[in-house]
């Protein structure tokens, strides 16, 4: 009985450590992806570049175009965009190499930081959005 209990405890601890390791690679992934792919234009604080690149900090666009954001990240955008009442018309490059899970984590980072308190995305939700992406995404 004692050996069985010890084996169960060791097995449980090993499983817990293994599961923990599975998730540590994803920790702060959205923040890291933002720094790598978005920060140089949208700035560290999400304020954008006045008159040229729209802010993502407290941006109404994140709510009003929620269903388009996954495609916007993957394919980029070209054409006018109105954010917080100001029109921007600078092309945004996409990042077609990002996987669905990375886009989900990036979107959730943006939606819950920079003063944004928007609803988080689920992985299945982003998968469906990306399946329905037009080849070329135009902003309105």
What is the rounded distance in angstroms from the CA atom of residue 110 to the CA atom of residue 72? 13
What is the rounded distance in angstroms from the CA atom of residue 113 to the CA atom of residue 92? 21
User: Is 8 among the domain residues?
Assistant: no
* Domain ranges, residue 95: 28-131
Q: What does the pLDDT profile of the chain (140 residues) look like in tens digits?
A: 566 675 566 565 555 544 444 444 677 999 999 999 999 999 999 999 988 999 999 999 999 999 999 999 999 999 999 999 999 999 999 999 999 999 999 999 999 999 999 999 999 999 999 998 876 544 44
User: Is 101 among the domain residues?
Assistant: yes
Residues in the chain: 140
Residue 115 vs residues 67, 87, 109, 111: alpha-carbon distances, Å: 20, 21, 11, 9
User: Is 139 among the domain residues?
Assistant: no
User: Is 113 among the domain residues?
Assistant: yes
Q: Structural domain tally of the chain?
A: 1
Task: Please give the pLDDT value at position 19.
Answer: 44
User: Is 95 among the domain residues?
Assistant: yes
Q: Is the pTM of this model over 0.85?
A: no
User: Is 72 among the domain residues?
Assistant: yes
What is the rounded distance in angstroms from the CA atom of residue 3 to the CA atom of residue 119? 48
User: Is 98 among the domain residues?
Assistant: yes
CATH of the domain at 58: 1.10.760.10
């Amino acid at each position: 009985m004692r050996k069985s209990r010890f084996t169960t405890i060791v097995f449980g601890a090993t499983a817990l450590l293994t599961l923990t390791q599975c998730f540590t690679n994803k920790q702060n992934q959205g923040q890291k992806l933002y720094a790598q792919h978005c920060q140089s234009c949208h700035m560290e604080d999400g304020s954008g570049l006045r008159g040229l690149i729209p802010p993502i900090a407290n941006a109404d666009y994140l709510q009003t175009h929620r269903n388009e954001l996954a495609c916007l990240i993957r394919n980029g955008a070209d054409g006018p965009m109105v954010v917080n009442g100001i029109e921007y018309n600078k092309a945004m490059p996409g990042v077609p190499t990002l996987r669905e899970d990375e886009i989900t984590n990036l979107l959730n980072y943006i939606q819950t930081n920079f003063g944004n308190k928007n609803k988080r995305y689920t992985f299945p939700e982003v998968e469906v959005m990306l399946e329905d992406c037009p080849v070329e995404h135009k902003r309105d």
